[in-house]
Amino acid sequence: MEVEAVREITGEIAEAFARLVPQLSSSGRAPGAAELAEIVAVPSTVLLVARVDGAIAGTATLVTYRTPTGVRGRIEDVVVDAGARGRGVGEALTEGALAEAGQRGVRSVDLTSRPSREAANRLYRRMGLVARDSVVYRHTTSTGHNT
């Protein structure tokens, strides 16, 4: 298995996201090639894919940003194809994102995962990520869209 950063949006990449994003959230509309290109054009964001036998089996996104207290990272949109789960792909993607964050000198990397995402929570705890006692607040705008 290999984990790589996407640098260019090809038909293969667009097809993989069309397949993977609906497995992350039933409400998530898969991004088109133009939206994916927007992601990879931003140097502070890393779009990772994992390949098993050459085929794209999962993805994770690392976002890094500077605030007055330092450079921080967030891992978003971790998803592995249903047929490829339980074989360490999610772990490899998370490791890849943490390694990228380390190279970028971030102070900390956060991610959120609903308790109902049992496999994800089990994975992150097994990898040594520590649950923080913090409430996540959300404001949903009426004009925003998913992708």
Which residues of this chain interact with ligand COA, rule CB under 6 A? 23-24, 78-80, 85-91, 113, 117-120, 122-123, 126
Question: Is the CB of 72 or the CB of 85 nearer to ligand COA?
Answer: 85
Indicate the residue whose CB is closest to ligand COA: 90
Cβ closer to ligand COA: 75 or 106?
A: 75
- Nearest distance in Å: CB 42, ligand COA: 21
Residue 111 gets which letter from DSSP?
-
75, 99 Cβ separation under 8 angstroms = no
When the beta carbons of 24 and 37 are compared against ligand COA, the nearer one is 24
Cβ of residue 143: shortest distance to ligand COA, in angstroms?
25
Cα 15 to Cα 10: distance, rounded to the nearest angstrom: 9
Tally of helices (H runs) and strands (E runs) in the chain: 4, 5
Helices (H), 47-117: 89-103
Tell me how far, at minimum, the Cβ of 81 lies from ligand COA, in Å.
8
Residue 55 CA, distance from chain mean position: 18
Q: Tokens 């959120």 label which residue? A: 112
CB of 11 to ligand COA, least distance (A): 23
Give whichever of 25 and 108 is closer to ligand COA, judged by the CB atom.
25
- Residue whose CB is less far from ligand COA, 34 or 131: 131
Tell me how many degrees the CA angle 48-98-109 measures, rounded to the nearest 5. 115
Task: Quote the least distance from Cβ 68 to ligand COA, whole Å.
Answer: 27
- Taking only Cα atoms into account, the Rg of the chain, rounded to an integer number of angstroms, comes to 15
